[in-house]
Amino acid sequence: MAAVTRTDELRANLADVRARIDAAATAAGRDPAGVRLLPVTKFHPASDVEILVELGAPDVAENREQEARGKAAEVPAARIHMIGQIQTKKANSVARWAASVHSVDSVRLAQALDRGMALALERGERSDSPLPVYLQLSADGDPARGGVAEGDLDELVDTVEAAGHLRLDGLMVVPPLGADPADVFARAKLLCDELAGRLGRAMELSAGMSGDLEDAVAQGSDIVRVGTGVLGARPLP
């Protein structure tokens, strides 16, 4: 009997997670094709990213700037999406390689990313503009965990809309520990829809991970960010 390869593992895991997404979408009366899967490759080697590209899943997510930058250089065929908190001083670097940023949570960071994009374009380090961004919503108002409070959302929206090199694509949310994920996702979806009405164009919700993707899809998430479900247990950093 042939040994199971890493490619076999990832192919099976992708199929399993996709089946979960499809079932949740169907149960909610949604088109499964409207929900995108974004594998989170944090702490996993660049070789896994290469395999995902080969399997037709070139869009992956990373939490840490240094690790993401390295993988973007090692696997140029991959599209790396930043989902972790970003220090403002790292915005120039992120702007060079990010396919999108899901964790914009302050006016200062949005402005820094816009400047970083302008610099990357000027230096020929990037040829595409604008950079798609999602505003990370704080479900409990605690800034220590990242995210913008609802009361500050409008100001951040206005900042991104005024930026020359950013494009607002929607909201992202991570349920706080102890919170009901379904409630958090439902509130985020409501805010996302209100934002779409205000701006006059569709907005996407980036919500749901390995343990709560069914709740996220049921509440209207357009993008689920799944690490363990696809890649398996994370190796020690």
Quote the CATH superfamily of domain 6-26+35-231.
Answer: Alanine racemase (3.20.20.10)
Please name the amino acid found at residue 140: D
Say whether pTM exceeds 0.85.
yes
Transcribe 38-86 into DSSP letters.
EEB-TTS-HHHHHHHHHTT--EEEES-HHHHHHHHHH-TTSEEEE-S--
Alpha helix (H) ranges present in 106-227?
107-122, 153-162, 181-199, 213-218
Please give the DSSP secondary-structure letter assigned to residue 40: B
Q: What angle do CA 114, 118, 206 make, to 5 degrees?
A: 40
Averaged pLDDT for residues 70-87: 97
Using the predicted structure, report yes or no on whether residue 46 has a pLDDT greater than 80: yes
Please name the amino acid found at residue 131: L
Smallest Cα–Cα separation from 168: which of 176, 158, 155?
158
pLDDT digits 0-9 by tens, 135-189: 999 998 776 778 999 999 999 999 999 999 999 999 999 999 889 999 999 999 9
pLDDT digits 0-9 by tens, 7-29: 999 999 999 999 999 999 999 99
Instruction: Tell me how long the chain is.
Output: 237
* Domain ranges, ordered by start, for the chain: 6-26+35-231
What was the pLDDT predicted at 146?
85
Please name the amino acid found at residue 192: C
In whole angstroms, what is the distance from residue 98 CA to residue 118 CA? Answer: 14
